[in-house]
Amino acid sequence: MKSPALRFAVAALLLSGLPSTAAANTYWYMGLGMGLGWIQFYPADFSPSPCPATCTDTRQEFDAGFKGFIGYQINRTWAFEASVTTVGKFHYKRNNGTVTQDAIYKVKGGGFSFVPTIPFTRNFSLFGRLGGFSSQTRLTIDNENFVAGASSPGVQSNRFSPLTGFGAQYFFDEESGIRVEFENFGKVGSACSASSPTCTGRANAKMISASLVFPF
């Protein structure tokens, strides 16, 4: 089992039979968070534009990310969550020596996941994440085809991918807590080729975030 999330799931399943020390094991909660989103572009999808041998590429693959979520703690070791996430706005720039073409790449979406949890104390626990993410990727290009001032109308694509992750959380009292986590949203966007010129290009999307959690 190479995935940390799978290891958390197995450990949580083994621990699910242990008696709980928490006063309340079942509750609803919500959370808001922000962090660092980053993607890994597929360069082949962003390089078909006419460009001389002197063309240079630069990428901005990091941006501020935001998320909101609502969840239900099923028992001490399992929860279910639904979330909305803005991974960020990214750039793939190509310069032909005169004009810089800027591909602006925005990623957001919604996810659902089971959250296996390993409680270590009444307040502190580690958790994993196993689910799916429905992404919406939008691409617009400034100075399209290296024509200064030209802009594309924008292309959008939707994609469903596995959602995995892991993290840690600490509840200060029965009212609020803080969570730090890593999430892998998988592949987003659509492939570009000669036969499919209307595309956004592909990327792998991830995020590290910190969130406040409020049980209710």
Q: What domains lie within the chain, and their CATH numbers?
A: 4-15+25-215 (2.40.160.20)
Tens of pLDDT, residue by residue over 23-49, are 357 899 999 999 999 999 998 888 765
Nearest to 85 by CA among 208, 194, 216, 214: 208
Specify the pLDDT at position 4. Answer: 54
Interatomic CA distance for residues 120 and 45, integer angstroms: 45
Tens of pLDDT, residue by residue over 131-141, are 999 999 999 99
Per the CB < 8 A criterion, the answer to whether 156 and 201 are in contact is: no
Specify the pLDDT at position 174. Answer: 66
Per the CB < 8 A criterion, the answer to whether 54 and 96 are in contact is: yes
Q: Average of pLDDT values for 15-28?
A: 55
Q: How confident is the model at residue 152 (pLDDT cuts 50, 70, 90)?
A: confident
* Helix boundaries (H) for 21-76: none
Per the CB < 8 A criterion, the answer to whether 189 and 160 are in contact is: no
Specify the pLDDT at position 124. Answer: 94
